[in-house]
Amino acid sequence: MNAMFGRNSAYNIGISGHGFLTCVGNLEAALKKYHPAKYVVMEVNNLSFSEEALTSALNGETKEIASHTGGILGLLQRNQYLRLLYAQMKNYRSRSAGDAVEEDASAIPGVNDERLLDELLAKASRTVKDADADLIIFYHPPTAVNQDGDIFFPDNLALSEQFARCCENNGIRFLDMRERFQSEYESRYVLPHGFSNTTVGAGHLNKYGHNMIAEELYRMIWEET
């Protein structure tokens, strides 16, 4: 993004394990610390939130993410082989869950409590506007490949539609990467998630996924300027 925007710079303060609700809770403090000039971009990779989680986020009661730098947990976190094993286990579970969703549509989570979601996004929007910036939220859905070699998205499309509706209600620009991900796979057989040591299409965003998101964000911002 920095290369595309030239003199305007973007910086990333994302931390692994800090999900969307945690980031909303930290939003005001982050704005005071970093003073963004034009835009705040937030990532979300799961649009299903429980009523309890949304209520906690609205009340500023989302639990902080613990950091373990000492003791046995700190030692385990610093061991690259154990970290790799843990990541591979998570990827395997993610892939297995995706297969189950494809076979059983009833396993797909239902939509959120729209009133609570709308209130939370309204709060986030106000917080960013008070800092003289605009809020963009991008969603990168999980991807998987079925036995026929076709890409599919093991999530609930209604969740994305609901989230987009709430964003529009509150002046937030929403970017759903689903269409771009599908287009890249169908034209170039490129997947946005996964690496050579993971299950196909599972795991963290790879370089292709990051590039796709950067290009779509650039296009969205450029259209406004």
203: which DSSP letter?
Answer: S
Per-residue pLDDT band for 223 (boundaries 50, 70, 90) equals confident
Helix (H) or strand (E) holding 175: strand 173-176
Task: Write out the CATH class of domain 2-224.
Answer: alpha beta
Q: Are 90 and 84 in contact, with CB atoms under 8 Å apart?
A: no
pLDDT of residue 105: 41
Q: Does residue 81 surpass a pLDDT of 90?
A: no
Q: Which of 142, 131, 141 is nearest to 164 (CA)?
A: 141
Cβ-count burial of 26 within 10 angstroms (0-12 exposed, 13-18 middle, 19+ buried)?
A: middle
Per-residue pLDDT band for 71 (boundaries 50, 70, 90) equals low
pLDDT of residue 210: 95
The CA distance from 140 to 138, in Å, is 7
Q: Does residue 99 surpass a pLDDT of 90?
A: no
Q: What is the pLDDT of residues 16-64, one digit of tens each?
A: 778 899 999 999 999 999 999 999 999 999 999 999 999 999 998 877 6
Report the relative pairing of strands 144-145 and 134-139 from DSSP bridges. Answer: unpaired
Per-residue pLDDT band for 100 (boundaries 50, 70, 90) equals very low
> What's this model's pTM, rounded to 2 decimal places?
0.80
Per-residue pLDDT band for 78 (boundaries 50, 70, 90) equals low
Residues paired with 42 in a beta bridge: 137
Give the type of residue at 136. Answer: I
Residues paired with 33 in a beta bridge: none
Cβ-proximal residues to 99 (8 Å cutoff; 6+ apart), any chain:
144
Q: What is the pLDDT of residues 155-194, one digit of tens each?
A: 999 999 999 999 999 999 999 999 999 999 999 999 999 8
The CA distance from 47 to 45, in Å, is 7
Sheet holding 173-176, edge to edge: 39-44, 134-139, 173-176
pLDDT of residue 196: 80
Segment 45-50 long-range contacts (CB within 8 Å, at least 24 positions apart): 45/139, 45/140, 45/141, 45/142, 46/19, 46/20, 47/112, 47/139, 47/155, 47/156, 47/159, 47/160, 47/162, 47/163, 48/109, 48/112, 48/156, 48/159, 49/21, 49/112, 49/117
pLDDT of residue 58: 93
